[in-house]
Amino acid sequence: MMKTAADAYFSLLQGFINSLDESSQESKLRYIQNFKWTDTLQGQVPSAQQDAVFELISMGFNVALWYTKYASRLAGKENITEEEAKEVHRSLKIAAGIFKHLKESHIPRLLTPAEKGRDLEARLLDAYIVQCQAEAQEVTIARAIELKHAPGLIAALAYETANFYQKADHTLSSLEPAYSAKWRKYLLLKMCFYTAYAYCYHGQTLLASDKCGEAIRSLQEAEKSFAKAEALCKEYGETKGPGPTVKPSEHLFFRKLGNLVKNTLEKCQRENGFIYFQKIPTEAPQLELKANYGLVEPVPFEFPPTSAHWTPDTLAAFDLTKRPKDDSTKPKPEDVRPVKEPDIKPQKDTGCSVS
Structural domain spans, the chain: 1-18+28-148, 151-293
Give the pLDDT score at 244: 76
Lowest-confidence range among 198-212, 248-262, 315-329? 315-329
How distant, in Å, are the alpha carbons of 45, 195, 196, 236, 298 from that of 230? Answer: 35, 13, 11, 10, 30
Residue whose C-alpha is closest to residue 349's, from 72, 59, 103, 88 = 72
Q: Tell me 37's DSSP state.
A: E
Cα 274 to Cα 266: distance, rounded to the nearest angstrom: 12
Model confidence pLDDT, tens digit, residues 157-196: 999 999 999 999 999 999 999 889 999 999 999 999 999 9
For range 264-269, the mean pLDDT: 96
96 or 77, which is more confident: 96
53 vs 294, higher pLDDT: 53
Using CA atoms, how far apart are residues 212 and 267, in angstroms rounded to an integer? 10
Q: Which fold has domain 1-18+28-148?
A: 1.25.40
- In the three-class reduction of DSSP (H, G, I as helix; E, B as strand; rest coil), residue 274 is classed as helix
How many other C-beta atoms can be found within 10 angstroms of the C-beta atom of residue 299? 18
Report the mean per-residue pLDDT for the chain.
89
Contact between 222 and 180 under an 8 Å Cβ cutoff? The reply is no
155 neighbors 201 (Cβ within 8 angstroms): yes
Per-residue pLDDT, 345: 53
The predicted pLDDT at position 339 comes to 61
- Segment 42-53 mean pLDDT: 91
**pLDDT surpasses 80 at 293:** no
In the prediction, which pLDDT does 290 show? 79
Enclosing H/E stretch for 36: strand 35-37
pLDDT at 266 exceeding the cut of 70: yes
Q: Given this chain, do its domains 1-18+28-148 and 151-293 carry the same CATH topology?
A: yes
Biggest distance spanned by C-alpha atoms of the chain: 89
Whether the Cβ atoms of residue 264 and residue 204 lie closer than 8 Å to each other: yes
- pLDDT bin (cut points 50, 70, 90) of residue 261 is very high
Exposed, middle or buried by CB within 10 Å (0-12, 13-18, 19+), for 62? middle
CA distances from 83 to 90, 159, 306, 349 (A): 10, 26, 34, 20
Q: Which CATH superfamily is domain 151-293 in?
A: alix/aip1 like domains (1.25.40.280)
| pLDDT (average), residues 332-346 | 58
Is residue 228 classed exposed, middle or buried when 0-12, 13-18 and 19+ CB atoms within 10 A define those classes?
A: middle
| 283-301 mean pLDDT | 86
Higher pLDDT, 2 or 137: 137
Q: Is the confidence at residue 137, as pLDDT, over 80?
A: yes
